[in-house]
Amino acid sequence: MKILVMIKQVPDTATQVKVSSDPKAIDTAGITWIVSPYDEFAVEEALRIKEKRGQGEVVAVTLGPERAKEALRSCLAMGVDRAVHLNDPTWEQADTLLTARALAAVIKQEQAALALFGRQAIDDDMGAVGAAVAELLGWPCASWIMEESVDEAGKTIRVGRQVEGGLEIFDLPLPAAVSAQKGLNEPRYPTLKGIMGAKKKEIKDVKAADLGLPGFRGARPVRGQARSAPAAAAGTHHSRRPRGGGQGPREGPSRRRQSNLTLLGDDNDMAGAIWCVVEDDRQGNPKKVMAEVLGEASRLASPLTGQAEAVWLTDKATEAGIKQLGEWGAKRVLLVENAGLAPYRGEVWAPVLAELVQKESPQAVFGAVTTRQREVMARLAARLGAGLAADVVALAVEDGKLVATRPVYAGKLLSKMTWAKTPWLATLRPNVFKPAEAQSGAAAAVDKPAATVPAPAMSLVERREESSTGLPELAEAEIVVSGGRGLKGPENFVILESLAKVLGAAVGASRAAVDAGWRPHRFQIGQTGRTISPKLYLGFGISGAIQHLAGMRTSKVICAINKDPEAPIFKIADFGIVGDLFEVAPALEQEFKKLLEK
């Protein structure tokens, strides 16, 4: 069984990342390069599959400049058999789609049975390549897997993919693509023997022509791409975060400094609606995040002349749900109701969405940053050859063009991007955009367009629901109470849960608390955990390491409670309490109770 693992070389998380004199690139001087941490989980899992089966081959693949060979050497030292380096100047400006096309071509050429990816690369944080490759290959795909096993015959992989509220266990016929989430395994350290052996293993240089792919260097930027590769792509530029170095007031996305943007292409078609893909609770009710997505679409609709519309793919819509979408600003609901649409499978949803887009030519398609929409929007982008801006924190119309702002390098920088042509695809981070105020009585027209729902290759085995805490979902919560190593033990999280109940908040944790086994990984906030943007973040006994900040720095108000006045978290906090959390948390709970009772 041949397994290909796609890896990317990225700056070390602790490295300071600065914009270079070219605002579309970073200054690479002094950067320490590493294999993106999620990719290490993918490498480890590939090696475990091979070891368990007692046969097979594991090949690491990367696309990048000459220095990316170091990353391949690290994988070879871990035990990977050989490596492929997509090393051609033609890919210097490769964005998500070009990268996906190159990787898909290698996977095809190598006739791999399984393609493993990391959940996302920690430089551009797009998290789109794995799903895009699967779409290009016509393969089933499961993102954010926490467990897997390949059957004895090597025909099927059973995976547990992390979704909001639990884990979904799926069987995927091979060949298939999966992306690794933290918690899947603990990557091994290379042994001395492994490091020495790696020097003798093959790293094959592959050019675009070897894969039968065209180059684009020196040509016009490829149309239909959001320029997304942070260090190189035209149309993307970075602006320094005003705070994070710890100085000056913290600023929300809309208040950050940004330089001029290079606009791409000349398409400026102003017609067409802004579509919002509905995220629902699987019971026929749109989730609260839809108020934000529809609110933003409606705000943009008038300068762009289209109207906000909802596209709902579901096995069961409700009248109440349709009414809710209308009240949140959808002028029309395109409803595709079909039993084959549940449970969510990207291989089924993407063709349906693409068919609708091709029929109706919307100007933009927006989704929310949820586990399923992140994946399906990447598949849709690949299927349409369109540009995707993932995890967007601001949208603006500049000269008739939509410009998206998104955090990169763990939120240390902001990147601006625009699209060469419609449809403009974007996923919006929850809790960042102003939600639509429900307009009582506003009704959406309902259309039920015909669409072909393909038969799925992957099948649901079971859904493991998390035991309900009665608290809101972490990524969607307006208030998050978070605990770190300062909690001293798992039993003390009840203190935070009690406070959270009073506030209607979700409870999160730092990696130190998760690694200690005090909280399950799905509650981890940070670079290798969840990204949250609540209205209020309360951090108890958390020092404020850069990787933790990566997951919560876009919170509107940050309040830190720490007994160490020098704790770095105070540098980004709007409010700080220097004190013992075991005294402060119960005192805050009492005060909030009194205030909320009033």
Ligand X SMILES: Cc1cc2nc3c(=O)[nH]c(=O)nc-3n(C[C@H](O)[C@H](O)[C@H](O)COP(=O)(O)OP(=O)(O)OC[C@H]3O[C@@H](n4cnc5c(N)ncnc54)[C@H](O)[C@@H]3O)c2cc1C
CB of 525 to ligand X, least distance (A): 6
Closest approach of Cβ 524 to ligand X, in Å?
Answer: 5
Min CB(185)–ligand X separation in Å? 15
Tokens of 564: 């160490």
Which residue number, 16 or 318, has a Cβ lying nearer to ligand X? 16
> Cβ of residue 508: shortest distance to ligand X, in angstroms?
9
- State in angstroms the smallest separation of the CB of 273 from ligand X: 37
Nearest distance from C-beta of residue 125 to ligand X, angstroms: 12
HEC sequence for 379-447: HHHHHHCCCEEEEECEEEEECCEEEEEEEECCCCEEEEEEECCCCEEEEECCCCCCCCCCCCCCCCEEE
DSSP state of 112: -
Q: Which residues bind ligand X (CB under 6 A)?
A: 13, 37, 484-486, 510-513, 524-529, 541-543, 545, 547-548, 551, 561-564, 567, 580-582
- For residues 50 and 521, which CB has a smaller minimum distance to ligand X in the complex? 521
Helix axis angle for 371-384 and 129-137, nearest 10°, is 50
Find residue 33's DSSP bridge partners.
Answer: 11
Contact 294, 436 (CB under 8 A): yes
Is residue 6 packed enough to be buried (19+ CB in 10 Å), middle (13-18) or exposed (0-12)? Answer: buried
| Nearer to ligand X among residue 308 and residue 572 (C-beta) | 572
Give the burial string for 531-562 (b: 16+ CB within 10 Å, else e): bbbbebbbbbbbbbbbbbbbbbbbbeebbbbb
State the CB neighbour count (10 A cutoff) for residue 283. Answer: 9
Closest to ligand X by CB, 97 or 561: 561
CB of 549 to ligand X, least distance (A): 9
Q: Which is nearer to ligand X, 332 or 511 (CB)?
A: 511
What does the alpha-carbon distance between residue 252 and residue 540 come to, in Å, rounded to a whole number?
22
Q: In angstroms, what CA-CA distances link 29 with 9, 17, 110, 427, 529?
A: 15, 9, 35, 32, 28
Identify each DSSP E strand in 229-273 by its residue range: 237-240
Instruction: Give the count of beta carbons closer than 10 Å to the beta carbon of residue 351.
Output: 19
Nearest to residue 56, comparing CAs of 199, 202, 166, 154?
A: 154
Q: How far is the CB of 488 from ligand X (least distance, A)?
A: 7
In whole angstroms, what is the distance from residue 282 CA to residue 343 CA?
Answer: 8
Minimum distance, C-beta of residue 39 to ligand X, in the bound complex (Å):
11
By C-beta, is 524 or 555 nearer to ligand X?
Answer: 524
The nearer residue to ligand X, 282 or 485, going by C-beta atoms, is 485
DSSP string of 493-520?
A: HHHHHHHHHHHT-EEEE-HHHHHTTSS-
- Half-sphere exposure (Cβ direction) of 216: Cα atoms closer than 13 Å: 17
C-beta of 590: minimal distance to ligand X in Å? Answer: 18
Closest among 280, 422, 401 to 357, alpha carbons compared: 422
